[in-house]
Amino acid sequence: MTNIELASLINTIADGVDPETGEFFDELLLADQIVYNSIKKLRRASRTVHRLGVLKHESQNRLNRPSNKIFEELKSWRLGEAQTLGVPAFTIFSDADLWAIAEGDVVEKKDLLRIHGIGMQTYEKYGDQIYSILHPYILNE
């Protein structure tokens, strides 16, 4: 079973639907509070899997760049930037934003503006640094 299939199954159960019969059941029938709370936690986690899809597990993006390696480099840069500024790393970029950058079709610096999570203010603040991380992968094409 793939992560996406598992996430879908969890969401079905959390919605009160029996995945085998398709019939609705009362969530209160999940009398064990621990089981009920666990399903709710899994549901929140599964939403992340749905949102990120399988991109997180692919090794190459559409331009045949190593997305996982780019993501890890971006993540290291983000951590250093966060430590310099004394803020949590997620306030600079979320993991989903970093995946979008790693998976993006960036050829020129201005292409960063087409990526979700990068607006003009972010582009002006971090565009040069992000592009410098992507640049070696652009040159290798």
Q: How many residues appear in the chain? A: 141
Could you tell me the sign of the dihedral formed by the alpha carbons of 32, 38, 39, 41, in that order? positive
- For 78-95, how does the pLDDT look when each residue is reduced to its tens digit (9 = 90+)? 999 999 999 999 889 888
**Least reliable range by pLDDT among 5-9, 56-60, 81-85, 117-121:** 56-60
pLDDT at site 73: 92
Q: In this structure, what DSSP letter does residue 40 have? A: H
Q: Which two tokens stand for residue 115?
A: 């990526």
**Least reliable range by pLDDT among 20-29, 62-71, 120-129:** 20-29
User: Where do the domains of the chain lie, and which CATH numbers do they carry?
Assistant: 3-53 (no CATH), 59-139 (1.10.150.80)
- For 17-64, how does the pLDDT look when each residue is reduced to its tens digit (9 = 90+)? 766 777 776 655 555 666 666 666 666 665 554 444 443 434 344 555
Name residues whose C-beta falls within 8 Å of residue 88's C-beta, 6 or more positions apart in sequence: 82
CA neighbor of 59 nearest in space, from 47, 51, 67 = 67
Predicted TM-score (pTM) of this structure: 0.55
Distance of CA 41 to the CA centre of its chain: 18
Type of residue numbered 33: Q
